[in-house]
Amino acid sequence: MSIASDRRTRRRQETIGEILDMAIELMDAEGVAALSLSAVARRLGMQPPSLYQYFPSKMAIYDALFQRGSELQRDAYRTALASATTENPLKHNLIAATAFSRWCLDNPVYTQLLFWRTIPGFEPSPEAYAPAQETLEDLRNHLQATADAGYLHPDAASDEGIALFTSLTAGLLSQQMANEPDASFEDGRFVRMLPTVLDMFHQHYAPGG
């Protein structure tokens, strides 16, 4: 690849990043489903038709944001586990769920896009959904390892166990964001119950159960 071609590729990626950043900013101000391509273009000093050189439709922007949000959320989850200073897998559950919850509260627009059906007709592409599947597989592997170590029943890593775990944690976040959207993780009336909810999950899948 020539220097000029490399420069054009880099500039294109920078412009795509600027478009996505502006889309998030506007969605935060006006609502996730209220995104306007012409508003994004105007805020970036572009003519609306120029935006189509980067994204052919509004759904394509949503898809790119879904992928970016899924990658950020996955990386926050993995970073928290990688930096854990305890060997107790049950505490790892809390560390990972706490990192997930903090990220969601810090990124409410991405959270609505990833976990709530706020955009009629939108379905993420397989490529955009892949990082979310990786996060679920990380969770399954961790719960399986926790069960293998004797801390949980093997069913904790089943499809039903994954569904219960994600329902409990996502339910707290939904309640928090709906009722106290500006509260911190420490002060939130609902997310404060995260340790209690995980204890309930651990008791339901106790190794002797």
Mind listing the pLDDT tens digit for each residue in 158-197?
Answer: 999 999 999 999 999 999 999 999 998 889 999 999 999 9
DSSP the chain: --HHHHHHHHHHHHHHHHHHHHHHHHHHHH-GGG--HHHHHHHTT--HHHHTTT-SSHHHHHHHHHHHHHHHHHHHHHHHHHT-----HHHHHHHHHHHHHHHHHH-HHHHHHHHS--STT----HHHHHHHHHHHHHHHHHHHHHHHTTSS-GGGGSHHHHHHHHHHHHHHHHHHHHH-TT--TTT-TTGGGHHHHHHHHHHHT-TT-
Q: Which pLDDT score, from 0 to 100, does residue 126 have?
A: 97
Q: Which pLDDT score, from 0 to 100, does residue 4 have?
A: 61
Distances in whole angstroms, Cα of residue 149 to Cα of each of 26, 82, 95, 203 = 47, 18, 18, 16
Q: What is the mean pLDDT of residues 116-135?
A: 94
Res. 209: pLDDT tops 70: no
Res. 1: pLDDT tops 90: no
Question: Hey, what are 76's tokens?
Answer: 């926050």
pTM for the predicted model, two decimal places: 0.91
135-158: per-residue pLDDT in tens? 999 999 999 999 999 999 999 999
11 residue type, one letter: R
Q: What is the mean pLDDT of residues 102-114?
A: 94
Q: What is the mean pLDDT of residues 108-116?
A: 93
Res. 132: pLDDT tops 60: yes
- CB of 198 within 8 A of CB of 93? yes
What is the spatial distance between Cα 84 and Cα 91, in angstroms, rounded to a whole number? 9
What is the spatial distance between Cα 43 and Cα 64, in angstroms, rounded to a whole number? 19
- CB of 96 within 8 A of CB of 186? no
Average pLDDT, the chain: 93
Res. 111: pLDDT tops 70: yes
Q: Which pLDDT score, from 0 to 100, does residue 2 have?
A: 65
What confidence category does residue 9 fall into, taking pLDDT thresholds of 50, 70 and 90?
Answer: confident
Distances in whole angstroms, Cα of residue 161 to Cα of each of 44, 53, 118, 135, 165 = 45, 44, 26, 15, 6
Res. 204: pLDDT tops 60: yes
- CB of 74 within 8 A of CB of 134? yes
